[in-house]
Amino acid sequence: DQQVKQNSPSLSVQEGRISILNCDYTNSMFDYFLWYKKYPAEGPTFLISISSIKDKNEDGRFTVFLNKSAKHLSLHIVPSQPGDSAVYFCAASGGDSWGKLQFGAGTQVVVTP
């Protein structure tokens, strides 16, 4: 049962423009959400997180938005850079999954010149 879903397997964006990655979840007990970036044959790198008591968290070029009523979060990257080309994973924890992360399937981002 996939509790965290990333429905877009890939995203292509032009350098300098905004990248918007989406993530939906089904478990209303989730209260902590994270985004990770992953290059091939490497471990995921933590990007940004958000607690359910907030609806927005910003760190440099990365902003995460959380819509609890819609069980939806998104990651905005602006401006997009070639080094941002990677797979981005959304993850969530809380409730029965407290302490464990449930991962989405990932979205491959390609930033073109």
Partner 1 sequence: GAVVSQHPSRVICKSGTSVKIECRSLDFQATTMFWYRQFPKQSLMLMATSNEGSKATYEQGVEKDKFLINHASLTLSTLTVTSAHPEDSSFYICSARSGGTGETQYFGPGTRLLVL
Structure tokens at 65: 């938005």
- Tell me how far, at minimum, the Cβ of 98 lies from partner 1, in Å: 8
Select from 25, 104, 109, 111 the one that contacts partner 1 (CB under 8 A).
Answer: 104
Q: Is 49 in the site for partner 1 (CB under 8 A)?
A: yes
What does the per-residue mask of binding to partner 1 show for 57-86, with x meaning CB under 8 A? ------------------------------
| Contact set for partner 1, span 2-41 (CB under 8 A) | 32, 34, 36, 41
Binding to partner 1 by residue 46, rule CB under 8 A?
yes
Residues that bind partner 1 (CB under 8 A): 32, 34, 36, 41-46, 49, 89, 93, 98-101, 103-106
